[in-house]
Structure 1
Amino acid sequence: MTFHCNSFSVTSEFRDCFDEVGSYSLSAARTIISQQKSYKYVNLEKNVSAQFQEILRYKFYSPSIALLDVSCTNATIVLEQASKLKYFNKTYQWLIIDENLNSNVLETLNSTMEIGLNSQILYINKTESNSYELYDVYSKGRHIGSPMNISFFAKWSYKKRLEKANELQEMREIIHRGQFNLLTLRGVIVIDKDNITTNEQVFKLLQAEDYKSVGLFSMIKYASELVKVISDRLNFTIDYRVTRGWAGRLQNTSYRLGLMGVVQRGEVDIAASPSFLRISRIKDLDFYHQSWIFEAGFIYVYSNLVKHKSGGGDFLAPFNHNVWIFSLISFIFIIAKGNQMVITDSVLLQSVAVICQQGLDPAPKKPAIRIVVFSLILFSLLMYNYYTSSVVGGLISNNDPGIKDLEELAKSRLTLIFEDIGYNKVVMTEPTNRSIVMKIRKKFFSQSYTSYELDGYTTLSKAISYIRAGTHAYHCEFIPHYDEIAKIFDPNEICNLRTITGLLKHETLAMVLTKKSQYLEMFKIILTRAREVGIVKRELKRIQNSRPKCQGALTVSPVAMASVLNAFIILMGKSDIFKMEVSHFEKFLILFSWCYNFIDYCWTRNFLG
């Protein structure tokens, strides 16, 4: 693209100058100058300010050249519009031609606030000796008081031709532009804690060993370490601004709140916090460097409160109900047929005796009947061995996963509590069409708490005793809290630890910057290099914690009352235990078992409110 006026023409000296410039970034410009043509010409004799944005977006799908003749009347308007709309960036290679010996274009550029670290401006000035001097122009941040840097690149003349002081590509890389000389950048950080306003307070929290207990989240700690890597490499300091949350909007407006709003409006230069990458945010923000894996859900301990949810129990589980019925009918039919008896209580008792390896009374006399009875006793022995081995093996393996998903959790008797952090409050209050979220909300807001010390939104240190008791499910980000759980839980409790995900999406968070930020490219390069040399991995390993491993090779769970309820029903007989011919001691044992199960059930229900 060429911005010119009616009197604009390319001199032969200027063409010869560009024929000898060896930089790849100027290859398109050499074509424009030598062939006297461009993709699009813009006549500066006309007013271009109204349609400036459409002009620069005209069929450009890759880095483009913008050639500006500053001798034209409206050239300063082009510079002002390019500054206002942030077109001094890496997408546009600006070639500013100044053939007037007394031009004030440098003063105009110096007053331009949007010339930044990623500016690609080559200023070409004609001297009194008919030679051309080429300068690379950029700034580390005019908005924070950094001066404009004008670095000499090369000089061209007829006698000495092109004399390069440096390679232009190297001058625009981090090796030349990566020294900020203790310049102070504006930063923002999320700290959900009262009375944190000064930079000294922020750095004191960031340097604290027990940062989790003072309102600083692990993802913020990690992001601040990445910011420190960037600041150490570029040699700048940070003046932090504190927000209490990440996002939100002013009611019935598009005005963003929290860290996202501050970054979107360009009020800061760097953010020490990762963020969810949402489609609705891409048009307003730039994202870079994804490394923090966010996984949140409910943590609970597998206890009797969870086991009660199965209802009927597992007493008959080793065999299908059809197998039990068919086997019992076969025993009764064969014994009745063999003894030529009518099916009565005596036959039923004889069948149970054969199953329990007690034989028959009276003993059969015919050899054929004895062979049949012997076969039945042998068959019952095999069934008995398989049944006992299945029950014992099932108890030892302990394969019961507990509550499988949010649907079961919403129906369970566990009390739901949440970590006191912004995204949990958002997911529990923002409008949604997800039915499972509505069920969790209904359960959460209908709960009543028996302890005034524990609120619905709380910290892990306050909730951990309730989690250990197996009565509460705590929603939080898993990774930051595993170390505290490993310190307090015993090995059996760690083996019984369960998690349920699904309320929040499992994703990798990204660092965030203002849209078209001048520092984006440089920050990307530094953190990419930090990932390659292992610095990012070291910080992740230091701050993130893996789930504590179950130390017990075999964990045996005690049999709950619900699992043997069917056995007690069988013992009761047809209607009432007092109609059975059992001893008073046996009656006492059955009544005691019933009363114990009833008291245990009532206690857990009352504890949950």
Structure 2
Amino acid sequence: MLYKKVDLLKHHRKIFEMHSSDSVVVLTLVSIFFGKVSSMESSLLIDYTTRLIKTEQSIMFACSEQDMYLNVVQLMAANQFVQPVHINSSYDLRSVLTRNNYARTSVIVDTTCEGASKLLKEASANRYFNKTYQWLLWGVDMNINDLLPIELDYVGPNAQLTYVNKTKDDYCLWDVHSKGRQLKSPLELHLIARVSTEPHKLVIFKDIYELQGIKYRNQFNGLTLRGASVIDQEDIFTNQQIEAILSRPTKDSGVAAFIKYHYELLSLLRDLFNFTVNFRNSRGWAGRLGNTTFRLGLLGIIMRNEADIAASGAFNRINRFAEFDTIHQSWKFETAFLFRFTPDLDTHGKSGNFLAPFSRQVWLFILATLFGINSIWLLLDYLGKRWLSQAKQCIEERILNIKKTNNINLTAEKSTTKCQGNWTERILHTFGAVCQQGMEPIPSDMSSRSIVVTVFLFSVVMYNYYTSSVVGGLLSSSDLGPATVAEITSSPLKVSFEDIGYYKVLFKESANPIVTRLISKKLSASRGPNEMGVYGHIEDAVPYLKSGGFAFHCEVVDAYPIIAELFDANEICDLREVSGLMEVEILNWIVNKNSQYTELFRTAMCKAREVGLVERLLRQRQMKKPECQSLYTVYPVTISGVSSAFLTLLSGVLLAFFALCLEIASVKWKFRR
């Protein structure tokens, strides 16, 4: 029967659209048809929806069918899309208020109905008194504090509630909100408009959207909000202890840099809205109780609405967007391993290595070239010997013919055999030329001299490339040392971490193989009394960083001020960073999902960013890395760099012993024959 009458009303609306001049007459006939006048004044509803909040969709909760039908017809005649709901019937509020309604939506509630208190309680529990809907509470002959008792704790500064009461001659529309009913804050009322029925007249005192904006809701009058923060220290319980730690401009152990930054942002809001904060401390940010969904730490406090605001940021995680609202983003969370570069950390083996200037392919090509030169030289010697032997026979024959003395022949033989040598001499000659050590004796034939000149030219070119690369490598500061977490794990560096909660959570919960390998190789071994423990503070880690051979992982903005104060110019130039263990990301400043302070604080932080307050705080809190003022750093050659030279020398000695053994064996074999 209800749906048939609603269809009838829709049919009436089509008639009104075609015959707008007869609307008043038809509405009067409908009122007579129902036999009563609406308890909610229809003209006031029309003024509210069309002139004050300017909506195009209305949801009406009423208990009288006749009252509902008449008001629906009136609103539809005013070009409103109306959804009537019987307040005493069975309905699902979350299906009615879907937060996806077309354009602005007004919710009209007849609070004189029996089921009105249940509806308002459910709306408060599901957080519908926010910027999504405009609520009109018809509260004639009802007190506002009885209508919205203290138990309805979701009536905050973001509420869009309009309360209607009646005086002797007219109706008054009041804007209603509080600064936090969960904090026992009283309701605040501001007069929006007055509606007279005879004659009909609407007098607007203040624009409703101005009253619902930040201008009229930014004064908390010293209200104390519930706050939360993270300080990883023992015996921190009272608000005075927390405020004393967070307000100090210097670094405190167990306090992340972004904690104090968000505390300063909170101080901006505190000064702007005139409220105070009573903090509670948490030792960590996140976690779950066993295998349950019960959140621990700061996130659990915020999610359960046990705190209104937090002096901390939170990491971006997909599963958190359904549980928290973000009011601001500005802090770049960046952690890294900090260590001082020393030559023994050269992961590429180029610190002083005399083989490093040339790649393996170049060295192999040089050896192949020298082998080819020696082969050609020996071939030319062989061809030369054959030619000389033939020439010698011809000369001897001519000498016999002209009967010359043997003295001349002997002298000629010595002069012609002077430049002759075996293959070992040729190899030594080539090696001496390559090393630019000269050559003795100098070959007399043109072919051998051509080879010698070519070898010397080759040696000059290669030697210049070699020496310039060695000198440039030793004088440059391009050596970076380990560049990834895996290289840190494989390096001889001792590793420690700042004593703060998120590292302990990382090592406990991460299944990343890089983290697992780091734990097994660097953190599981026992440490001596003169070594820093696995967890420590930045002030204690700086002397180890200065001495080298040590890496400390922390939030880099915490370490830069201390490093700039205690490191000299050369040590600053040696400072290296390796990130990758934890993601670099922009932190979210979060509140509870659909918090009554979300829009208010978000608007205030946007304004603070526009006027430059956020940038000023970032410049103070996020110090840049100290710049290297030294032109260059000369790193000494380490034993690892010259080890290849000593290995070459040892190989030569072993080769000499092997050649000696071969010569001894050869001589013995000849004597036995």
Output the TM-score relative to the length of structure 1.
0.87
Per the alignment, residue 245 of structure 2 pairs with 205
Per the alignment, residue 473 of structure 1 pairs with 551
Per the alignment, residue 443 of structure 2 pairs with 364
Matched, 1:60 2:101: yes
Structure 1's 228 and 19: CA in aligned 2 closer, same or farther, altered over 3 A?
closer
- Out of 115, 121, 127, which is 1:80 matched to? 121
Amino acid across the alignment from 1:79:
L
CA contact (8 A) 2:352 2:637 kept: no
CA contact (8 A) 1:311 1:562 kept: no
Give the 3-state SS of the residue equivalent to 1:78 in structure 2: helix
Structure 1's 12 and 121: CA in aligned 2 closer, same or farther, altered over 3 A?
closer
Per the alignment, residue 547 of structure 1 pairs with 625
CA-CA distance at 1:462 after TM superposition: 1.4
| Distance in 1 between residues matched to 2:523 and 2:217, nearest whole Å | 55
- Out of 485, 497, 516, which is 1:406 matched to? 485
Residue correspondence of structure 1 range 251-290 to structure 2 within 5 A: 251-290=290-329
Unaligned runs of 5+ in 2: 1-5, 7-33, 60-70, 383-419, 660-673
Deviations 1:215-258 (A, max 9, x none): 43321110000000001000111111111111112223222111
Amino acid across the alignment from 1:321:
W
- Out of 255, 266, 280, which is 1:227 matched to? 266
Structure 1's 90 and 360: CA in aligned 2 closer, same or farther, altered over 3 A?
same
Per the alignment, residue 564 of structure 1 pairs with 642
Per the alignment, residue 226 of structure 2 pairs with 186
Deviations 1:18-57 (A, max 9, x none): 4772444x45459975316645321123144xx2222222
Per the alignment, residue 132 of structure 1 pairs with 171
Give the 3-state SS of the residue equivalent to 1:275 in structure 2: coil
Amino acid across the alignment from 1:138:
H
Greater alpha carbon shift after TM alignment, 177-186 vs 108-117: 108-117
- Out of 420, 443, 462, which is 1:383 matched to? 462
Deviations 1:156-177 (A, max 9, x none): 2144722121111111111111
Per the alignment, residue 574 of structure 1 pairs with 652
- Out of 512, 524, 532, which is 1:446 matched to? 524
Structure 1's 473 and 175: CA in aligned 2 closer, same or farther, altered over 3 A?
same
Per the alignment, residue 375 of structure 2 pairs with 333
- Out of 186, 193, 212, which is 1:147 matched to? 186
CA-CA distance at 1:143 after TM superposition: 1.3
Structure 1's 217 and 313: CA in aligned 2 closer, same or farther, altered over 3 A?
same
| Distance in 1 between residues matched to 2:436 and 2:299, nearest whole Å | 75
Residue correspondence of structure 1 range 11-160 to structure 2 within 5 A: 11-14=41-44, 17-18=47-48, 21-24=51-54, 26=55, 28=57, 33-35=74-76, 38-48=81-91, 51-57=92-98, 60=101, 63-98=104-139, 100=140, 102-104=141-143, 106-111=145-150, 112-129=152-169, 131-157=170-196, 158-159=198-199
CA-CA distance at 1:62 after TM superposition: 5.8
CA contact (8 A) 2:343 2:635 kept: no
Deviations 1:304-349 (A, max 9, x none): 3313773997322333222221232134234434544776432221
Amino acid across the alignment from 2:592:
T
CA-CA distance at 1:206 after TM superposition: 2.6
Per the alignment, residue 486 of structure 1 pairs with 564
Matched, 1:171 2:211: yes
| Distance in 2 between residues matched to 1:576 and 1:19, nearest whole Å | 102
Per the alignment, residue 474 of structure 2 pairs with 395
CA-CA distance at 1:418 after TM superposition: 0.9
Amino acid across the alignment from 2:126:
L
Which protein shows a greater Rg? 2
CA-CA distance at 1:63 after TM superposition: 4.8
Matched, 1:522 2:600: yes
Give the 3-state SS of the residue equivalent to 1:359 in structure 2: coil
Per the alignment, residue 533 of structure 2 pairs with 455
Report how many residues are paired. Answer: 569
Give the 3-state SS of the residue equivalent to 2:474 in structure 1: helix
CA contact (8 A) 1:29 1:65 kept: yes
Per the alignment, residue 575 of structure 2 pairs with 497
Amino acid across the alignment from 1:377:
F
CA contact (8 A) 1:315 1:565 kept: no
Per the alignment, residue 599 of structure 1 pairs with none
CA contact (8 A) 1:123 1:136 kept: yes
CA contact (8 A) 2:220 2:275 kept: yes
| Distance in 1 between residues matched to 2:350 and 2:618, nearest whole Å | 44
CA contact (8 A) 2:347 2:487 kept: no
Amino acid across the alignment from 2:44:
F
| Distance in 2 between residues matched to 1:84 and 1:412, nearest whole Å | 57
- Out of 307, 311, 322, which is 2:346 matched to? 307
Unaligned runs of 5+ in 1: 582-609
Deviations 1:389-418 (A, max 9, x none): 121122222323211212222222212211
Structure 1's 544 and 399: CA in aligned 2 closer, same or farther, altered over 3 A?
same
Structure 1's 308 and 576: CA in aligned 2 closer, same or farther, altered over 3 A?
farther
Give the 3-state SS of the residue equivalent to 2:604 in structure 1: helix
Structure 1's 308 and 108: CA in aligned 2 closer, same or farther, altered over 3 A?
closer
| Distance in 2 between residues matched to 1:580 and 1:63, nearest whole Å | 97
| Distance in 1 between residues matched to 2:652 and 2:45, nearest whole Å | 110
Give the 3-state SS of the residue equivalent to 1:267 in structure 2: coil
Structure 1's 18 and 520: CA in aligned 2 closer, same or farther, altered over 3 A?
closer
Amino acid across the alignment from 2:539:
S
Deviations 1:259-279 (A, max 9, x none): 111111111111001111211
Structure 1's 22 and 45: CA in aligned 2 closer, same or farther, altered over 3 A?
closer
Structure 1's 305 and 167: CA in aligned 2 closer, same or farther, altered over 3 A?
same
Deviations 1:54-101 (A, max 9, x none): 222285376532111223221221111112222111111111224x4x
CA contact (8 A) 1:270 1:513 kept: yes
Q: Report the RMSD for the aligned CA atoms in angstroms.
A: 2.8
CA contact (8 A) 2:218 2:273 kept: yes
| Distance in 1 between residues matched to 2:453 and 2:37, nearest whole Å | 116
| Distance in 2 between residues matched to 1:19 and 1:422, nearest whole Å | 53
Give the 3-state SS of the residue equivalent to 2:462 in structure 1: helix
Greater alpha carbon shift after TM alignment, 38-47 vs 178-187: 38-47
CA-CA distance at 1:453 after TM superposition: 6.0
Give the 3-state SS of the residue equivalent to 1:481 in structure 2: helix
| Distance in 2 between residues matched to 1:44 and 1:573, nearest whole Å | 99
| Distance in 2 between residues matched to 1:556 and 1:236, nearest whole Å | 58
CA contact (8 A) 1:335 1:373 kept: no
| Distance in 2 between residues matched to 1:452 and 1:397, nearest whole Å | 33
CA contact (8 A) 1:231 1:237 kept: yes
Greater alpha carbon shift after TM alignment, 537-546 vs 571-580: 571-580
- Out of 278, 282, 285, which is 1:243 matched to? 282
